[in-house]
Amino acid sequence: MPITTNFTQSGNQGQRKPDPRIPRFVKGKVQRQEEHNINENIRAPRVRVIAEGMEPVIYPLQQALNLAEEAGLDLVEIAPNADPPVCKIIDYKKFLYEQRKKQKEIKAKATKVTVKEIRFGPNTDEHDFTFKKNHAQKFLEEGSKVKAFVLFKGRTILFKDKGELMLLRFAQDLAEYGKVEQLPILEGKKMMMTLAPKPKK
């Protein structure tokens, strides 16, 4: 007895009703191609079948399709480049739903890290240093990175050692809130250092 398949076919074989669980057709219009080869779209003559509650076994394609049909599920090719291709017996619509749900959760959890800049001069006084350090502490507590830099103008480049010591002190004073991601490095007229926020306990 021939197997009942899930999708509409064209040609001399006539047409068969699509599986309502698979949203391939909407008001007579074909949706975009599925992300995986499923059921009749699988072309390999033999496939390795995996399913819940059974060991992976290699079957002729038709037998694998029969197994999926008997379970009321779909045969989904999940590793087409394997030899033979690996297929899983699952509810494809549910599988896609869970995949997209996970992707949305990952995207929602992903936070965009902002970078705040703190600028010093090589002769920054104590009051200004403390003021800027307090701002940096607030940025780190909010989850932003801090890029602190000393800008050397003209002959002040002679004080680059002083600028480096200032940045290292800055990092030490903020050690409770941020960790050094990049040690002080001189690029042109700027000596820069980056602090990343520490994970909240």
Residue 6 pLDDT grade (very low, low, confident, very high; cuts 50, 70, 90): very low
**Crossing angle, helix 126-141 and helix 160-173, to 10 degrees?**
50
Q: Work out the burial of residue 35: count CB atoms within 10 Å of its CB; fewer than 13 is exposed, 13-18 middle, 19 or more buried.
A: exposed
The rounded distance, in Å, linking the Cα atoms of 79 and 86 is 5
At 31 the pLDDT is 45
**25-108 shares its CATH topology with 115-197:** no
The rounded distance, in Å, linking the Cα atoms of 122 and 46 is 72
Token digits for 9?
């076919």
pLDDT by residue (tens digit) across 96-113?
A: 899 889 888 887 776 677
Identify the sign of the CA torsion 31, 37, 39, 43: positive
Q: Work out the burial of residue 87: count CB atoms within 10 Å of its CB; fewer than 13 is exposed, 13-18 middle, 19 or more buried.
A: buried
Mean pLDDT over each residue of the chain, to the nearest integer: 82
Residue 151 pLDDT grade (very low, low, confident, very high; cuts 50, 70, 90): very high
Question: At residue 126, does pLDDT exceed 50?
Answer: yes
- Whether the upstream peptide bond of residue 23 has omega within 30° of 0, thus cis, is no
At 52 the pLDDT is 86
Question: At residue 153, does pLDDT exceed 90?
Answer: no
CB 122 within 8 A of CB 150: yes
User: How many angstroms separate the first and last alpha carbons of the chain?
Assistant: 64
Average pLDDT over residues 32-47: 83
Residue 140 pLDDT grade (very low, low, confident, very high; cuts 50, 70, 90): very high
Pairing of strands 86-90, 74-79: antiparallel
More confident residue, 113 or 147: 147
Average pLDDT over residues 23-42: 63
Average pLDDT over residues 140-169: 90
CB 85 within 8 A of CB 44: yes
Structural domain boundaries of the chain? 25-108, 115-197
Percent of the chain topping pLDDT 90? 55
Nearest to 136 by CA among 124, 123, 121, 149: 149
User: Distance of CA 112 to CAs 72, 164, 199, Å?
Assistant: 43, 29, 15
Which amino acid does the sequence have at 109?
K
At 33 the pLDDT is 55
Can you name the CATH fold of 25-108?
Ubiquitin-like (UB roll) (3.10.20)
pLDDT by residue (tens digit) across 58-88?
A: 999 999 999 999 999 999 999 999 999 999 9
The rounded distance, in Å, linking the Cα atoms of 190 and 171 is 17
Select the CATH number that applies to the domain covering 115-197 from these four: 3.40.630.10, 3.50.50.60, 3.30.360.10, 3.30.110.10: 3.30.110.10
The rounded distance, in Å, linking the Cα atoms of 33 and 135 is 52
